[in-house]
Amino acid sequence: MSGRGEKYNEPLSPVTYEGKIKRSLFIADLAPVHNEDESKNFLSQIISKYRDATHNCRAYIFSNGSEYSSDDGEPSGTAGKPILNAIKHSGLVNVMIVVTRYFGGVKLGTRGLIDAYGMTAAKALEMAEIKECIITQKFFIVLEYSQMGLITRLLENNNALNLKWEYNESVSVIADIPVDFCESLTRELEELFARKIIISFDKNLTAL
């Protein structure tokens, strides 16, 4: 996620847009997807839904920077790339668009296909509700019961999200920390660990 800042936008829910261009019916199905398995499942659903379609061209972009496009039998560069470019222009990530075409008997030509696929994808993107996501790092802290107040205040001061406490012989807490606060929190936890005020801590990258 490097270079994208601490926040990014992804679609909240699926969207469908359809329109006719020179007798051909173009249907854009958009969905939030976060990995290749989700993208394959979404594509399978669309292919099953439109079994008699001429083409199911598609593209996706994930929040980690991975991207993909397919012309699905249309002339090279006339379908998948325009869909991908529409997604890039929108600024959304973790999104896949499949544009299904039913050929209407009139050839559109290279420029016509590029415009049709790009515009259809753009219309779906305009309809999409947007969810703002915060890039976080997940921290796991183990402490004695007597230090709960201290650690609670420390996490609050670092804008911690989604706190999950567990109570056994000692206390553990998992929290999502916005990336802007991770460096300072790490330094503070290292100091607390060195002073034996906390038992241990660990962290790994994730996103909310």
* Six-digit token string for 126: 């305009």
Give the model's pLDDT for residue 205. Answer: 60
Q: How far apart are CA 164 and CA 154, in angstroms?
A: 15
Which of 161, 171, 155, 53 has the alpha carbon at shortest distance from 104?
53
Angle between helices 80-90 and 109-127 (to 10 degrees): 40
Q: Which residues pair with 55 in a beta bridge?
A: 101
| Confidence band, pLDDT 50/70/90 cuts, at residue 38 | very high
Give the model's pLDDT for residue 6. Answer: 76
Task: Summarize pLDDT for 187-197 with one digit per residue, the tens.
Answer: 999 999 999 99
Which of 102, 110, 127, 114 has the alpha carbon at shortest distance from 29?
127
Q: Are 47 and 26 in contact (CB under 8 A)?
A: no
Task: Summarize pLDDT for 47-86 with one digit per residue, the tens.
Answer: 999 999 999 999 999 988 899 999 999 999 999 999 999 9
For residue 198, pLDDT over 80 is answered with yes
Q: How far apart are CA 183 and CA 193, in angstroms?
A: 15
Q: Are strands 95-102 and 24-32 parallel, antiparallel or unpaired?
A: antiparallel
Q: Work out the end-to-end distance of the chain between its first and last CA atoms, rounded to an integer number of angstroms.
A: 13
Phi, psi of 119, deg, nearest 5? -70, -40
pTM: 0.74
3-state helix, strand, coil in the chain (%, to 5): 35, 40, 25
Instruction: Give the number of other CB atoms < 10 A from CB of residue 4.
Output: 13
Average pLDDT in the chain: 93
For residue 22, pLDDT over 60 is answered with yes
Q: How far apart are CA 123 and CA 41, in angstroms?
A: 23
Instruction: Give the number of other CB atoms < 10 A from CB of residue 45.
Output: 14
DSSP, collapsed to helix, strand or coil, labels residue 52 as coil
